[in-house]
Structure 1
Amino acid sequence: MPVFVESAHDARDTRINPAHLTALPRLAAPPPTEGDNYEVVVVGSGPAGILSSVLLARYGLASVLTVDSKPESVHAGQADGLQPRTLEVLQSLDLAHEVLTQGCQMHEVAFWNPTDGDGKGIERTAFVPDVAVAARYPHEVTIHQGRIERILNEDLEKHGNAVQRGWEVTKFQLEEGEGEFPVVVTMQKTGGDEKRVVRCKHLIGADGAHSTVRKGMGLSLEGDTTDHVWGVIDTVCTTTFPDIRKRCAIHSSAGSIMIIPRERISGGAVLTRIYCQMEDSPAADKVASKESRGKVTLERIMEQARRVLAPYTIEFGHVDWWAAYQIGQRVAPKFQMSDSKGVPRVHIAGDACHTHSPKAGQGMNVSMMDAYNLSWKLAHTLLGLAPSSILHTYESERHSIAEQLIAFDRSFSTLFSTPLTTTSHTTSGLTHDEFLRVFRTGGGFTSGCGIEYSGSTLVDTSVRGVVTDGLRESGLLWPGRRVMNVRTKRFADANPRDLQDDMPSTGVYRLLVLLPSAFRATPGDFAGLLTAYSADIPARFPQGAVETVIVFPGERGNLEWTDFPACVRAQGEWTVLGDHYGCVYGTFSVDVAKGAVAVVRPDGYVGVVAGLQEGGDGVVDGWLRGVLVGV
């Protein structure tokens, strides 16, 4: 049975298996050897693949092989935008600093439409917040995908592993009755004849839209295969257009473009990404689609941008990358393949299981959240902390999100490609108000902050009357939703804290105990309750698998450290927090007179909520016994 302990370098930094944490850097894992056995083989080192490997390494799985057919990571183009929820996850891994300080933050979106009347020019019709839902980071960040991959690769190497480049997986098969390592993976050196055959317990296919792993599962991407033809360019430009450093959605009589400001590059210049609609209507079939894309040139993209922005001028300097694309909205019917005993053994993530246009701003975000959802479940299963049945929730949770993404992207892309009318009084075409409404209502989904997982082993949707009435869209303390960030003050040292920073991505469950107002007057009356949640319940599960975060209402006042039970003082110095700023209970819609308790999953999503004193300890204990092994 794995034992959770605290690492030497940070008393708050627990890991499922801390053996990989050491004061000295470890050598990176060697390349694959014929006949090797691995706990996990990850195929692909894009955002979904590399984040999977990083998380598995952090969770203590040393036997993970990551391979990629490409000789190096991307240097230009591809995804560039990170949504608020993705930023929260990177922060929980202490990997957000460079992104937040060197990326381009987008706080506002400008909408431009045809000039009312003659429609020959364009005019700004609205400024709206880029993120309209409650979020710790109320903005998007654009930064090159290659930099994200570099940050993750450095962290992977720091934890003793590395991507093995130049190895292409050609096939895999499940061999039943072959012991612990039933997945047989065949790979070949890219551009050569050298082959390797290895075995693993689990295979993750994060190998893109043309995924070999998905095809080996007998699956294909299903959905629309044609769309409007668009061109995209990353460039350094000079322009009289006033909103070039804002995210812009521009409709004109000459077509539509989207402007995405990018980060600085060498020499101090700044990049701008411009998406240009190149055709008025979608191609009729795949052949016509390929022909339409083939007609798109760099010069055509530049000229189309000039026409849409007129009467403003734009001149193009350095071009970092350009492309023509026509991506349909498609999703695989399944994300997992199980063995004869029903244990999911093969999993696909990212573009391997869903593709969409870049207009919804999801890019690498949904792919990385696939990895974030899957990795801790794999780690818990492989380390014997949880039944393998929790692996099934990866497909049920993430397939639903992929379908929602496809539906939203189809709607938004169609609207963006539809010409706008010049007045709101005409009955034909699309009005600005209609387009703006779709943009705003989709904000909870696109930001990632409004994602909600449905009921399952890991989500008990009966809220048991704890949370008061309110809009679920605002991100209340609700099963299936991520824990919103709130500002608190730590009791021990009066340190202002973001709650999410006290719930880092370390692979553990957390009991979030919101004490009622009566605790302030008679803290001794709650000694038994705090002992149950801080000591009794965690002791029933593997050491360190469950920890407790305690929040009391209001400021510190007359409270003393000795007012808390000895078990809290011994274990919870860093996780006793006060609602000093008066935002916790209101944000979570919890009655301060009653309090509440919630179990937060290792990925930051709420698993169950219960009343604090009305049998809440039994609810929490029962729920945990369904997702963790007992001791």
Structure 2
Amino acid sequence: MTSVCLARYGITSVLTVDEKTAQIHAGQADGIQPRTLEVLQSLDLAHEVLTQGCQMHEVGFWNPTEDGAGIVRTAFVPDVAVPARYPHEVTIHQGRIERIFNEDLEKNGNKVQRGWKVSGWEFDYEDEEFPVVVKMSGQDMERVVRAKYLVGADGAHSTVRDGMGLKLVGDHTDHVWGVMDAVVKTDFPDIRKRCAIHSSTGSIMIIPRERISGNKVLTRIYCQMEDEVERDPTIAAPSTADPTAAKQQAKKRREKVTLERIISQSQKVLAPYTISFADIDWWAAYQIGQRATTKFSTADKNGVLRVHIAGDACHTHSPKAGQGMNVSMMDGFNLSWKLAHVLNGLSPAGADLIATYEHERLDIARQLIAFDTEFSSMFSGKIGAETGLTHEKFVKVFSTGSGFTSGCGIQYREGLLVAKQETTPSGAPESGLLIPGRRLMNVRTKRFADANPRDIHDDMPTSGRYRIVAALPTAFRTDPAAFQKVLEGLVETLPGRFPEGVVESVVVFPGERGSLEWTDFPACVRERSEWLVLGDHYGMVYKTWGVEESAGGVAVVRPDGYVGLVASALDAAVAEVGTYLEGVLRTV
């Protein structure tokens, strides 16, 4: 994701290496969350995922029967319980996501160089513009490169993280799980839905996958193996155990898990339903754990943050909430535009734009660890009076966590890129209200120029630009001349103070077109924002964003689609927006 976005932003001198000699062909992550789908759509990379992946719209919850001899469905709930452009998850092979990214990367002048492992890095100030010296091995040779910046997305055993002097801090639990992808034959009625199943003999999660050929469809099954392997107290309390010994014990416990045991345990949990497995594509065993680093970035001797980590290199957790690939990609999405602005000389002197990466994403990692700890613990527990875990508690955690797990409820804290909110934010973070730090919620509009129905996200693609979004009040319809000055300020004067093309303006008016004509808009709007004048024809914009039609409002949307500023009043918007943008962009 980082390399794809950097190429889109015009950064051509990027070396992307991967230790693997080929794309992933089996296993790994497979779930794409709604916010990730929005980002892929903004990159025009969502089509194959949406049309060929398996869409999950609801989740079936199954629990033990009263006599404990079987399982019974107790509820269907929406898979995504928050407002979203794509109100569902999609499962599709990670290898296909890699291929989509690789093809786009090559289209934009770069490619992944495979078979190279980063063996170490250090700062060397012989060349202070390129102070990061990276050592790599592969293809029977050694390689050394100098770089301005290094981004390590090299997994839980990250060499880049080790060079930063950082460790993943947290715990392993005593829960061992098996996972497999296979073509199944079963009379279980909800096999094509995501299911969370608690039985008296353990728990499993069913994740439907895409069709692979003809009528063959993959199904992923996560199966709790706790009763199948020897419990080890040193694993249950890793903070007091010797780390090396703990790792060895964990490996021994995982090695006790075999494919045959995963199949047998899955059959026990699903009884009295039957299930058989064919065309097993992949299987593995893992222990649930939640760990994260305390930092995501390291500075050189001059205080410039040069080295960064993302994804599993800085946070690991259980896979059942569908967060790993999503949070990792959003790390890269957040970092990439900030690196591009610095490299392209767009950020102002004295503004440490790159520092906001750790400020924002470390906070999200901590929330991820907290959620996953609660969710995975409840999923691994048994429902019943002896544990205190009830079906209602489990469903509540699942549903209330949907804002975070979907990615739609992420809210960044106040900082350089997130202006202070003068009033207490109302509504849940995923509600769609215009609040600094929250994503701009997609709304359906009609474009003025050609009466084309538009999703506003499609008119604000990922391109490294800030957008000034002006929602005009009702009075504009009857007296458009009264708003000429503020429109000229937002559409022409303000964007003209910054490097060309880095700021563009979106103009929204309430209701349908009615008697409005092109000449009712200032010439600068017609020239600079012809394709970005949108009417609230469907009545979604003001209602969703929480903007009073009688007052209107103005917001600045960051290059990653998050709201940076909401102006307090239309007549003061030009000054407020100008102050915000001067803090994050170089003036000309």
TM bracket (short chain): over 0.9
SS of 1:497's equivalent in the other structure is: strand
Structure 2 residue 98 is the aligned partner of structure 1 residue 149: yes
Q: Hey, what does 1:263 align to over in structure 2?
A: 210
1:288 Cα deviation after fit: 3.4
Q: Hey, what does 2:137 align to over in structure 1?
A: 188
- Aligned AA for 1:490? R
- Aligned AA for 1:622? T
1:359 Cα deviation after fit: 1.3
CA separation of 1:227 and 1:484: change in aligned 2, threshold 3 A:
farther
Q: Deviations over 1:90-132 (max 9, x none)?
A: 00000000000000000000000001x2121100000000000
Matches within 5 A, 1:203-352: 203-280=150-227, 283-284=232-233, 285=235, 286=246, 287-352=248-313
1:282 Cα deviation after fit: 6.2
SS of 1:77's equivalent in the other structure is: coil
Q: Hey, what does 2:497 align to over in structure 1?
A: 540
Residue identity (%): 67
Given candidates 354, 361, 364, the residue that maps to 2:315 is 354
In structure 1, distance between residues paired with 2:47 and 2:427 = 34
Gaps of 5+ in 1: 1-50
1:472 Cα deviation after fit: 4.0
1:475 Cα deviation after fit: 2.9
Q: Is the 8 A contact 2:467 2:506 kept in 1?
A: yes
1:289 Cα deviation after fit: 2.3
Q: Is the 8 A contact 1:463 1:609 kept in 2?
A: no
Q: Deviations over 1:59-111 (max 9, x none)?
A: 00110001111101110000000000000000000000000000000000000
1:613 Cα deviation after fit: 2.4
- Aligned AA for 1:77? G
Q: Is the 8 A contact 2:557 2:563 kept in 1?
A: yes
In structure 2, distance between residues paired with 1:402 and 1:87 = 20
Q: TM-score, normalised by structure 1?
A: 0.89
Q: TM-score, normalised by structure 2?
A: 0.95
Q: Deviations over 1:142-177 (max 9, x none)?
A: 000000000000000001110111111111111236
Q: Deviations over 1:524-557 (max 9, x none)?
A: 1111111000000000000011000110000000
Deviates more, 1:606-615 or 1:318-327: 606-615
SS of 2:566's equivalent in the other structure is: strand
Q: Hey, what does 1:6 align to over in structure 2?
A: none
Matches within 5 A, 1:10-29: none
Q: Is the 8 A contact 1:516 1:594 kept in 2?
A: yes
RMSD: 1.3
1:315 Cα deviation after fit: 1.0
1:178 Cα deviation after fit: 2.2
In structure 2, distance between residues paired with 1:267 and 1:217 = 49
Q: Is the 8 A contact 1:228 1:283 kept in 2?
A: no
In structure 2, distance between residues paired with 1:299 and 1:75 = 22
SS of 1:358's equivalent in the other structure is: coil
CA separation of 1:249 and 1:530: change in aligned 2, threshold 3 A:
same
Given candidates 108, 116, 125, the residue that maps to 1:167 is 116
1:292 Cα deviation after fit: 1.8
Structure 2 residue 68 is the aligned partner of structure 1 residue 119: yes
- Aligned AA for 1:246? K
In structure 1, distance between residues paired with 2:386 and 2:115 = 56
- Aligned AA for 1:625? E
Given candidates 411, 419, 439, the residue that maps to 1:460 is 419
Q: Is the 8 A contact 1:450 1:475 kept in 2?
A: no
Deviates more, 1:344-353 or 1:383-392: 383-392
Q: Hey, what does 1:103 align to over in structure 2?
A: 53
Deviates more, 1:152-161 or 1:261-270: 261-270
Q: Is the 8 A contact 1:92 1:500 kept in 2?
A: yes
SS of 2:559's equivalent in the other structure is: coil
Q: Hey, what does 2:337 align to over in structure 1?
A: 376
SS of 2:352's equivalent in the other structure is: helix
Q: Is the 8 A contact 1:176 1:339 kept in 2?
A: no
In structure 1, distance between residues paired with 2:199 and 2:232 = 21
1:339 Cα deviation after fit: 1.2
Q: Hey, what does 2:446 align to over in structure 1?
A: 489
- Aligned AA for 1:243? D
Given candidates 139, 162, 176, the residue that maps to 2:125 is 176
1:464 Cα deviation after fit: 6.0
- Aligned AA for 1:321? W
In structure 1, distance between residues paired with 2:71 and 2:332 = 42
Size of the alignment, in residue pairs?
572
Structure 2 residue 401 is the aligned partner of structure 1 residue 433: no
SS of 1:393's equivalent in the other structure is: helix
Q: Deviations over 1:599-623 (max 9, x none)?
A: 0000000001013424111110000
Structure 2 residue 32 is the aligned partner of structure 1 residue 82: yes
In structure 1, distance between residues paired with 2:375 and 2:279 = 31
In structure 1, distance between residues paired with 2:553 and 2:331 = 30
Gaps of 5+ in 2: 236-245
In structure 2, distance between residues paired with 1:562 and 1:289 = 71
SS of 2:370's equivalent in the other structure is: helix
SS of 1:250's equivalent in the other structure is: strand
- Aligned AA for 1:264? R
Q: Is the 8 A contact 1:113 1:251 kept in 2?
A: yes
